[in-house]
Chains A and B, each alone.
Chain A
């Protein structure tokens, strides 16, 4: 049962929430109350709605005496500017209250039903201090005499969110104006230049809005003039210059009468006094980043996360793809540079597109920064890109942290265009032949193999080895010379000389035959040849002419170990001679050939 009711309540609550959001564009219901009040001060709390509520449920106000209220008032206005009509309507419920005691009190939310829907205001906390407060409401401060504006009445103050930072750590500097007196205007405003910082204005209000603030127990109207985000770029103590401006302060003119009428507040003479005020400079201590920064550190300070991915996991060659690295976190995010990525050389790379999606709030910048690396892979294959590293200095943990994406893989398919047949070229359109580029220079690699280490001068020329080799060559020459000479000598004895001798013998024996051959005397020539051959045989074989028969000659020659061929030749030549002696004239040619045969034969036998 109980659970069911809780559930119902929840449904109602969420429903309310949603309807509230839905209607928020048109209907608003808000509260306006000072943050700080003096103890003896009466002030107003106003609830404003921009539509007519059908009912108003008042808040509970503990710690405050309600002096009057709620008094409701309505205001409507219609404007026509350049034919454009705009209407506004406002209902306000005003309480005039006075605090009972010192401390912090809250005014609970008021609820109104507008157009059948319920709207609630935010609860408001009001601090009650022991400040000087008169019953005069907002302009409560006691007015000093004309021209005598003290620095406690109006001053500027620069404050920083952190006074001690590390280099690059963002901090927020706020310049505020505190006043007790009405201000007519400013002039000669000089803001600090923030030397040593990278600075950016993150809030520059167009209208200066005063909010009550408690400064050392005194209530001031405070206004935010500027808010900066600073990132120190130097280390050491950096001072922020004082800022200055001249304020036109409205001071009540000196009064002649001591009496104060009720109308004085409205009709007394106000005098504008120029007052130069300045916010004192402040110092920020900036510590250097500790040593030992990783290689991929590029000045990022704060707390980040990184994500890296390709816009597509697989592409075809010559199609565009991009690597997207997103760095999310808080810190000096707008100063982060694009992480270095080593793409394969075959990829065509273009300029990194950086989009900063960070928002600067009171606590520094946070958000994300997206780096987009456009690429066009020119070749197919599976490419892996080495891990992308991004390092930053974590302020909380006080150490460097390196985020790494891990190896990224990109599958590149073959060119979808089929590669080729584009105007007869074998390369796809838009791709040109390119020279092999030298990407960087380096020395050639060291020698790894044999060291060839030697002591002293190891050159071949003039070394012992060289001299020996030279000596060996000379030695070889002389040895060869000697051997060859000897051999030739021998050859000369055995063959050359003998040969010539044998030739001579043969020629001498056949001299008569030669003469007859020249005279072409056939029969005489053969007779002479026959006689010469037989004579030679008898001399050579030491046989008597009468003993010479063919068999005997053959026997003797073979006994002398004469070549079989020569023997046959000898016999056949003798036969030829005997035959030719009685045969008819065979002609000079045959004679000549037989003569040559005989010379050859005798020379052969002689050798």
Chain B
């Protein structure tokens, strides 16, 4: 199925380029969608059962069983905000704080606007030992980030599409409006919509890009030492505890160069941390 789908999409792209208006192309798209949708639903039956069962187990307080179900779904290659969020919650209930933080971070990576996940992450962080004062950010960056992270990537995508559609309509208005006043207004609003559309698209792209990055990790070990060089004999610079977030800089033979939020750097054994 996957392969067919891929071939289809490649054909599709050709078609898109050659004759975007051709009805045959659109037909192909529809068929491709139906096929991909169908292929997913075959696996989905089993997964949906696991999901439902896991939620029931969680509700009954059987967290270990619930977690086993969720992990099975994850191992089958599926992912979603809800799944990662539930796994995080279950780990929290099982008092595995590092894992809980890891999963909440993963949810936020998928969707930085998930309020539940950020609430739970804040709570889980209360239980972690390390207190790190972050370097203050440029205020404008913070504002832009706040705006960006107030909606999910998908939301921004929809907004950008809507705005682009508005641009198209307004440009037509600019061309064909009866009065010059209307034409002027159309042009102005068209440009504004284009600007905001591009910004939305940039936000959507930024979130998507960030979610793909593997540039940060959570310390999984209760106590982990950070060395000055990537080997055991190196000087111990500082000690990190479970649940602390670090930025990954480079990797060298089973060691990772990490940076804390306050700018300190050092080398940590890769197995002590898990990438978000």
Contact = CB atoms under 8 A, between A and B. Distances in A.
A475 B16 CA distance: 11
Contact of A448 (B55, B88, B153): B55
A441 B123 contact: yes
A473 B86 contact: no
A458 B111 CA distance: 11
B172 A446 contact: no
A451 B157 contact: no
Interface string B2-13: 000000010010
Given A446-B89, A471-B16, A481 B161 contact: no
A453 B175 contact: no
Given A441-B123, A450-B82, A484-B176, A461 B208 contact: yes
A468 B88 CA distance: 35
B168 A474 contact: yes
Interface in B31-88: 40, 44, 47-48, 51, 55, 58, 73, 77-83, 85-86, 88
B80 A457 contact: no
Contacts, number: 124
B158 interface: yes
Nearest to A442: B123
A451 B74 CA distance: 12
B82 A447 contact: yes
A466 B51 contact: no
B80 A453 contact: yes
A476 B157 contact: no
A453 B156 contact: no
B21 interface: yes
B266 to A, nearest CB: 31
Contact of A451 (B51, B77, B201): B51
A466 B160 CA distance: 10
Contact of B168 (A451, A459, A460, A476): A476
Given A462-B205, A470-B164, A480-B172, A455 B77 contact: yes
Contacts of B92: 443
Contacts of B158: 460
A436 to B, nearest CB: 17
Interface residues of A, number: 39
Contacts of B146: none
Contact of B175 (A449, A457, A468, A481): A481
B172 A441 contact: no
B153 A444 contact: no
B172 A444 contact: no
A446 B57 CA distance: 11
A215 interface: no
A477 interface: yes
A215 B55 CA distance: 74
Closest 9 CB pairs between A and B? A461-B204, A447-B82, A460-B157, A477-B168, A460-B154, A452-B80, A453-B78, A443-B120, A461-B157
11 contacts: A443-B92, A443-B100, A454-B78, A454-B79, A458-B80, A459-B154, A459-B207, A473-B165, A474-B168, A481-B172, A484-B172
Given A453-B82, A457-B208, A461-B204, 13 more contacts: A443-B120, A445-B89, A451-B82, A453-B83, A454-B79, A456-B79, A458-B80, A460-B204, A461-B160, A466-B157, A469-B161, A473-B164, A484-B176
